[in-house]
Structure 1
């Protein structure tokens, strides 16, 4: 939990924890370690077209959902939410130009940057003190990195940045989660940002927030997806970092094949 000096609020980065055994051989376990969970489908990420507009509303997630948050590799600490009073003010992202993407990856990955090419690079609809965009890149071996940006500088909360690939990704999983944050962006304003990759049978991904069933399209390319939203919230909780985001995945026929709110790894309070 980082205290934001601009408005004396606590910036709670909502992350999903990964068992420490998965991190064997990793020099440092990031506070942003995120596990991969999901339903049925081929686990190999492939190229995907742009996300379409969402159709229909999924079942409303129940209040009180708990996500895990790691702290210096010491295990999971529950973060319990209550029904949220919020408004999504924008879910629009804008592309980051190629030259800036190169600089973001270079500052994020150092000498490894030349091995990666960007698949999704967007500015978020609202900026925080530390974040105004995200770049997801992949190398020839299908190893992904997620670099959050501020201007033309990039950083990764993972150590090494490729640690997001060691997330229990295997046969039978539909969605793998990378890093997800909810951070203050000024008084009563918040940024929701997250990314991941998906199985080959996923044609479209949309995100709902908290107990609101409305869904917002994610940006999809190169087997990865990114979502970002600006919201306003009315709360006196200094630790509030926005509602829980829920990922919904659809196949080419429009059938929902994954709903994070119904995923036992989340709905059971893990």
Structure 2
């Protein structure tokens, strides 16, 4: 199932997408939102930076309501688990690791070839990383771009690549709005073992963005995303505090963008596109 920006509703739980498939203990999410592309910075704030909600593990109580040859090596230090406890039985979770590591150029070529087929030669990778943990289907993500500044996102498993989009370049056909700072690609959640999940996602940003971080649920702690070539990716391992049900979708990831002075210029949790009531 695909959704367009016009289908994005108020629920923060849904703001990165809707379930693609739901089986016992298995959930995959694919998303669409609006934005404009641009930017080539590749910086990311440290997760231990108090100014960005990092440091020691954070406990929060929510309100009752709702690298390849072209890649980047900055950013992926999500050291230190962060624990969040919510009000519903499945709301509490702990981010156990948010560290990503580069994928070598030779493997990236194979990933893009299997993901994009004959079109692979038209794209070069801007970010290619392994996620902190591997699920049955995914252990990394590659974001690539062509000469027309069109992006693709391919999930990896070993040296094989797949895309949630059909065709993989579908993410380039979504409605982009003017005046936007961030464009979202795909975000997914999949179990990796009993009581553990992998969450990963990607997108791109405008040239005035110098840092991208990700927070989860209503936990204020922010983890740095990897950035390069105007794109960002993130990956995190999380563990629910209580055994989740078969339709567990995990906490909503929120993107935060900062300019070169360190000022927050975008917060997904405050974006009217996602907070407007249905």
1:209 pairs with 2:202: no
2:40 to 41, 47, 50: 47
2:117 and 2:63 map into 1 onto residues whose CA distance is 42
1:137 to 141, 144, 155: 144
Q: Residue 185 of structure 1 aligns to a residue in which SS?
A: strand
Listed as ranges, the matches of 1:53-92 within 5 Å are 53=46, 55=49, 56-57=51-52, 84-92=91-99
1:126-183: CA deviation from partner (whole Å, max 9, x where unpaired): 1110000000000011000000000000011111111112222243010000000111
Contact 2:182–2:205 (CA<8 Å) still a contact in 1? Answer: yes
Q: CA deviation at 1:250?
A: 0.5
- 2:271: which partner in 1? 263
Contact 1:85–1:235 (CA<8 Å) still a contact in 2? Answer: no
1:94-148: CA deviation from partner (whole Å, max 9, x where unpaired): 1000000000000000000000000000000011100000000000110000000
Residues 131 and 63 of structure 1, relative CA distance in 2, 3 Å threshold: farther
2:224 and 2:156 map into 1 onto residues whose CA distance is 21
1:215-261: CA deviation from partner (whole Å, max 9, x where unpaired): 00000000000010001112332211321100000011111111111
Contact 1:61–1:261 (CA<8 Å) still a contact in 2? Answer: no
1:113 and 1:147 map into 2 onto residues whose CA distance is 11
| Structure 1 unaligned regions, length at least 5 | 17-33, 38-42, 66-80
1:103 and 1:117 map into 2 onto residues whose CA distance is 12
1:226 pairs with 2:224: no
1:13 pairs with 2:13: no
Residues 143 and 64 of structure 1, relative CA distance in 2, 3 Å threshold: farther
1:14 and 1:141 map into 2 onto residues whose CA distance is 27
TM-score, normalising length: structure 2: 0.76
Q: CA deviation at 1:211?
A: 1.4
| Structure 2 unaligned regions, length at least 5 | 1-19, 54-59, 67-86
Q: CA deviation at 1:264?
A: 1.6
Listed as ranges, the matches of 1:87-236 within 5 Å are 87-233=94-240, 234-236=242-244
Could you list the structure 1 runs, at least 4 aligned residues long, displaced by more than 4 angstroms after superposition.
57-65
1:242 and 1:57 map into 2 onto residues whose CA distance is 22
1:269 and 1:244 map into 2 onto residues whose CA distance is 17
Q: CA deviation at 1:64?
A: 5.1
TM-score, normalising length: structure 1: 0.79
Contact 2:22–2:28 (CA<8 Å) still a contact in 1? Answer: no
2:262 to 246, 254, 266: 254
Q: Residue 239 of structure 1 aligns to a residue in which SS?
A: coil
Which shifted more, 223-232 or 233-242? 233-242
Alpha-carbon RMSD across the aligned residues, in angstroms, is 2.2
